[in-house]
Every structure is written in C-alpha cells, then in structure tokens.
Structure 1
Amino acid sequence: MRMPVRVLGQEDVEPLLEGVGALGTGGGGDPAWGRVIMERDLRQGLTYRIIPPEEVPDDAVVVSGGYMGSVKTLEEMGFEKVVEDWDRRFELLEALRAMEGLLGRRVEYVVPFELGGLNTPVMLSLAARAGVVMVDGDALGRAAPETQMTSFIGHGVRLTPMPLVDRRGNTVIVREAAYPAYADELGRWVVTRGGGTGANTHYPMTGAELKRAVVPGTISLALKVGRAILEARAGREDPVAAFCRVAGGTLLLRGRVTEVSGEDRGGFYVTWVTVEGAGAPPERMRLVIKNETMAGWLDGRLVAVFPDLLCLLDPATGRGIMSVELAEGLEVCVVGVPCHGRLREALDTPEGAAAFSGARYGCPDLEYRPIEELIKDLG
C-alpha cells in the first residue's frame, strides 16, 4: 500500500534547516527563525505532513504563500516574540482564509514560494495549523527577493489574487496586476507602512497546474543536503564538498570578503560584495545581492546569473551564510548550482523573462545563460 504523505519529526528539524539555509542563496530567512517555529510547533503537538506533487489530485486547490518584509525588522522585533504571538493571531493563516473567501473553495494543499530558513518552516506551520498538507516542492529550489520570480509565473499560473495581511492587522487584496512585479511592489509598500512585516498567499492553482509548474522534491533535497553537511561536519570531512556532491554544485571560489556596500531599501537589503581568493595572484569575485545572491563575476567574467544558484557557505562548517552576515574579513566558499529545468522553461516565456529580469536587481543589461555554459572552460 502506498503512503505518499510523509510526516516530519524532531529528527528532521536540523537537517531541513541546514539544507534550506545552504540552498537559500543568502535569503529566505535565517534558519534560527525556522528553528523557533519548528521546535515550538512540535512541542505543541502540531503535525508536519508533506506530499510529492505527483500525488496531489488534479482538481485539488493549491496555494503558495510566505512572509514579506525586512530581515532587520524581524531581528529588531525579536523572533521568539513574533512566533509566540502567532498563537493569538497568525497573519499567514488569515491570508489563507482570505484566499479561500476569494476562491469560494477550501484550500487543500499549500506549496512554499521558496526554500529558506523562514519561508519553508512558516509554510509547514501554516499547513499544520490549517489542517492541510504541504507539497514537497516550491517555486524556485532556492530563495528569491520578489514574489513574481517563480517557475509558476512562466507556466501559466497567475500570481493574483494575492491577499496580504500586515502586522498591524490591515488586509489588502491585489485582485489583478497589469504587470508581474506589481503585486510584489504594492505588497512591499503596504508592509513598510504596516509594521515592517506581513504575510501573503498567492498563486492559486489546481493540482494539475501544480504538476506542470512546481520545482518538485525540493524539501526532500534540502533534507538530503542538510544531512550530508551534518554528517561531514561530524566526521571531520569537508562539508562544502558534501554539499556540492548532493546538490550538484561547483566550488567557484574560496576566499575572504574584502568589500561590502549596501543598504536596506524598500524592504530589501541590496548589497555589492567582493570576495578575494587566497591564491597568487588572487582571484576576485564580485557578487550582486538583493536579499539573495543574484549574479557573480569571477575576475570580470560572468559565471552565474539568477535563477541559477550562488550559495555562500562557511568553509569550516558548510553552513549557509545569510546576506546580512556578510562583512569584511569573513571567509566564504562560493558554490554555483544549476537551477531546475522548470525555471529555465519559465525564462523562455515573455512572462518569465520579465519576472526574472536583471533590471529587478540593478543589472538591466544582464541576460540569463546557464551556469554550465558560463563555467565550462574554467580551470
């Protein structure tokens, strides 16, 4: 008898958090926040259930969702207090109920928008609190700074309607959007005036649409990546090599951060980072970050561009480094990982090309090329 639904327990907390932290490309929320969510939920008896997308009925109602806002705002609020307040009022559950009201149907499955230390656990928490199942997959296989940057949007799934509930209790619904980034831009505006954070649901779809559009198996992959990192660390082996082996990554540079310039702008932490290698003469990598690492140049040569992954890992532990942690003197390994084919398919559509445009992170002339092509003749 097939048992497609998998229950996650306490033994999965650390592997999942390690995995989403490493794959999150510097964003998606700090895994320390995810630990607060998961440990509190499990102590209170909530059950985390995940299901492969291929097992979701074609006529089922599925929605995505997550949290919006500035990392610095969440840190200033104190995340333990934020999660404690969810017992009284959980903004993401309110956004889910608002979506059900718009659709006139009960949501049966939720799917994460991205992989990250906050936005993956928060969707597990939503599913558990709503009594539904979370899909083993997401829209990216990494984290991204804007809501329209997904595999969904390039496969015919509309972002709207998008209910948004902010920290102060305001509810805003974006019913239609004339261009893909509008809902995200409006959401950021609302969040900055509504206490700095908010929760939204979006991308309502059927199970059949989910199967065509989702990046499948990413929760399982994150668990495998996390376990590989933890086992390598415990066995005094190279955790970065373990990450590369399981995630299909390539080590592009091991070095030290020599320059960081950035600011918190409109709900995003936008940064330019320089990493200098240890060789002689040293290689130099330049990274552009908009919450997440979006593109990188090695000695002036483009080596990776969003949605391919540039993961920043601690050389000693393999832990994913958050973009807000980056500071001069920090040792990092920069690892490139090809994105899933679903994202590349999305890029071939006008909607996907607009959603993923380099103009969204300050590089309007940057065009996507697969990482395999960009690094094929590197030494």
Structure 2
Amino acid sequence: MQEITIDWIEPLWYGSIFLGSGGGGKSYLLASELHKVLQNRAIPLLTLDELPENNFFCGVGLLGSPELSEESLPSGMEARIIIEELEKYTGAKFKGISIVEGAGVNIFYPLLTALQTGLPVTDGDAMGRAFPELQMTTYHLENLTVTPLVLIDSNYNLHLFLDKQDTFLLELNTRQIISQQGGVGYFAGFPYPGSVLKRVLLPGTLTFAREIGECFLQADNYRELFSLLLEVTSNSFYGPVVEIFQGTVTNISTYEITKWKAATLISPKGEKLQLLFQYENLLAFKNGNMVASVPDLISAIDLNKLKPVNNNEIYEGQQLALLGLPAPLRLRISKALDVVGPQCFGYRTIYVPLEKLYWDYYHKKEVFS
C-alpha cells in the first residue's frame, strides 16, 4: 500500500490541471490546503488490486462551480456529514473513499475527505479526466446508479436522493438545487464494494496524474517537457501524447446562446487553430480541419511558464502549446460516446481518435519505444 504524502501535492496539482483538459476547476487553493495539513500526516492509497472485495467505498466530490468553492474553502467536515448520512440509509460502514473525477478539484477534495475521516482512497477513478456531468462515468457504462446519494449545499442543507434514479435526471435535479443554493455543493454517493470498483474504475489514475506533474517539475524547456510526457504517457493505458499546435492566442469569443467558447491561435507560420470549449476543451480545428475531439484530452501548456493551464486562464497574447492525449479505450466504446462524445456537448460532429488523425505519428515505431 502506498501513501500520499506532502511531496505528492505539487506534482499532483500539475497533473490534475493537465488531465482536466482545460476544465475541472482551479485546484490551487485545495492543493495548498492539503500541503499544509499533510506536514506530518499521510493518506493511505489503495490500488484496485488491494481493495477488499466485500468492503464498501463511497465516492465524494464537488458539484457546481469550483470557482465559488474558493470563496468558502471546504474543510472536509461537510464530507463527514454526508458520509455518515449515507451510511444511515445504506446500512454500510464505508471503509474507503473512491474518486469519481480524476482531475482538477475533484482529485483533491476526496483527499481532504480522507484526512477528515481517516479512510484510505482508491488509486483509480471513474472518468480518467474531467467531465462536467454525473452520467459521464464508467459507472454509467456498467448500468450502475449513482444513488443513494447525499448532497450538501453551500448553506449546509442536506438533500437526499435515496431511490434508484436515472442518472440523467439525477444530474438535472442536483444541478437545479445547486443553482438555487449558492452554486456549489458536495456529494457522497456511488456506494459500492471493492469487487465492483475493481471492475468499474480506471486503474492507477492518481499515480498517473502525479507522474504527469513530475514532468513539469523536471523539465527545463518545452522539448524536454514533451519528451518526458511522451515517455510517461506511452507507458500508460491512455496512449502517447501528441502535439496538436503551437501558437499565440489572438482572440477569445463567447457564444451566449450555445454557451460555447472559442480561442483562436495563430502559429509563427500563419496557421490558424480554433479551440472550442465549454467547461473543458472539446474540439480543435486547424485551418478548418478537425485535429482533436472529446473524449480525447486537449491540454494547454503556457510556453513561457512551462505549466499546464485551465481554459479560464487563457488570455490574448499568450503563447500556448496544445497537446492531445488519447482517452482510455473504455471511454471510446459506442455506449461511452453516447454520453461523452462531441454530440453530447451540442457539436454536430463525430469523434475521431487521435490515432486516426495523426496516423503517421502513431504508427512510427519510435513513438512506442
């Protein structure tokens, strides 16, 4: 069994931004808080193989606006309340915390919860990246419900969803409550034993996020950074990272009716790329041709700071490199694309894998060496 110690936090922070694919919320304050409280403590981290098959785990996380959570930083105490409430209705005594979204603030909030409860966390999650909605998980692919679920809003009101409920409907109901109660809430749900989590969760994603973050700490220049990222990703179940574009941001547009946003980048050679995003980066078009699409990850790196950035940190004049990371295969099957493909975000296009868009690159032997 591994332990998450203070030296995990900085690389995990960078990795959480990279795997956020532009979204997932700004995790700096939560990461800083964990850095303080982990001075002389550690969090047990269980691989999926180490999960006791009959022990129950619950998933915890943040719903709503991560930015609003920064105005009143969560302590983890709210998680103790909702976990205890969930135990009342399930009759289970939870033996650990599972991670639902392995990116952004939802990497760090379960760790804060683990410290408050003394429970271990799983080295695996149900998304492998950042997604905005509850049905966009590997639980959904296995026809497993989120409920029973307990939600606590920013005013510390409890909302119970105890009966089996369609996940799409649950997403709407929780979102409505949160919008009326301060814009942010915290949940405990997905109550399943280790035997189920072994089948459902994507393995090793916290460790992978840390390995990604270490690349940013070790690199002295962009080419070295890319080489390190290529090595780490090539040895993962995601797939080798690929460079999509390098350029300067010249314009950022917002389309209010559709809630779409677009950033335009121009390369030194005059090539043009449009990055389309909502909460996360979803599509990229180079000179009018699609060069990346969700569920594959599109992650931005500030070339001057040599650090990953969220899409709400992108500004005109900024020099960026956009990197693509193939999504885990389980996110590419037809049933998964029905909930995480481009059409689920309102775009009239189909998913095309990075390996097909960059056929020559991915079929060069040295990429996989």
TM-score by length of structure 2 reads 0.88
SS of structure 2 residue aligned to 1:152: helix
In the alignment, which of 12, 15, 21 is matched to residue 11 of structure 2? 15
Instruction: Work out the CA distance in 2 between the residues paired with 1:294 and 1:95.
Output: 33
**Residue of structure 2 in register with 1:361 after alignment:** 345
> After TM superposition, what 4+ stretches of structure 1 lie above 6 angstroms from structure 2?
263-266
Q: What code does the residue aligned with 1:315 have? A: L
Q: Which residue of 2 aligns with 1:199?
A: 186
SS of the residue corresponding to residue 171 of structure 2 reads helix
Deviation at 1:179, TM superposition (A): 4.1
Indicate the residue corresponding to 1:239 in structure 2.
Answer: 225
CA deviation after TM superposition for structure 1 residue 178, in Å: 5.6
Q: Is the 8 A contact 1:253 1:335 kept in 2?
A: yes
Q: Which residue of 2 aligns with 1:74?
A: 69
Is 1:223 the counterpart of 2:215 in the alignment? no
Question: Separation in 2 of the partners of 1:179 and 1:283?
Answer: 45
Where does residue 370 of structure 1 map in the other structure?
353
Alignment check: 8 A CA contact 2:57 2:192 kept = yes
Q: Structure 1 296/32 Cα, relative in aligned 2: closer, same or farther at 3 Å?
A: same
- Return the letter of the residue paired with 2:42: T
Q: Secondary structure at the match of 2:105?
A: coil
- Go from structure 1 to structure 2 and tell me whether the alpha carbon gap of 1:52 and 1:39 turns closer, same or farther (over 3 Å shift): same
Inter-CA distance 237–368: structure 2 relative to 1 (3 Å threshold): closer
Moved more, 135-144 or 292-301: 292-301
Decide which of 297, 308, 313 is 2:296's aligned counterpart.
Answer: 308
Residues of 1 paired with 2:84 and 2:260: CA distance?
A: 33
Do the aligned partners of 2:304 and 2:319 also contact (CA within 8 Å) in 1?
A: no
Write the deviation string for residues 228-259 of structure 1: whole angstroms up to 9, x where unpaired: 221113x8863244223322200110111122
CA gap of 1:291–1:348, structure 2 versus 1, over 3 A, is: same
Aligned-pair CA distance for 1:221: 0.9
**What is the correspondence of 1:251-290 to structure 2 with a 5 Å cutoff?**
251-262=243-254, 270-279=260-269, 282-290=270-278
Tell me the alpha carbon deviations over residues 182-226 of structure 1, each in whole angstroms, 9 at most, x when there is no partner: 222222221121122110123222212111111111111111111
Q: Tell me whether 1:185 sits opposite 2:172 in the alignment.
A: yes
Query: Counterpart of 1:68 in structure 2: which amino acid?
Result: L
Aligned-partner Cα distance in 1 for 2:159–2:315? 37
Kindly tell me: are residues 42 and 303 of structure 1, through their superposed partners in 2, closer, same or farther at Cα, counting changes over 3 Å? same
Aligned to 1:115: 102
Contact residue 18 and residue 31 of structure 1 kept, 8 A? no
- Secondary structure of the 2:10 match is helix
Instruction: Write out per-residue CA displacement over residues 50-101 of structure 1, whole angstroms, 9 at most, x where no aligned residue.
Output: 11011102222122221122244235x2xxx524xx27xx223322222222
Gaps of 5+ in 2: 234-239, 363-369
Residues 71, 284 of structure 1: CA spacing in aligned structure 2 closer, same or farther, 3 A cutoff?
farther
TM-score, reference length from structure 1: 0.86
- What is the aligned counterpart of 1:27 among 23, 28, 53? 23
Change (3 A) 1:190 1:316: same
Shift of 1:320: 1.4
Query: What is the CA–CA distance in structure 1 between the aligned matches of 2:257 and 2:82, rounded to whole Å?
Result: 25
Q: Structure 1's 97 and 275: CA in aligned 2 closer, same or farther, altered over 3 A? A: farther
Partner in structure 1 of residue 366 of structure 2: none
Q: Distance in 2 between matches of 1:299 and 1:178?
A: 44
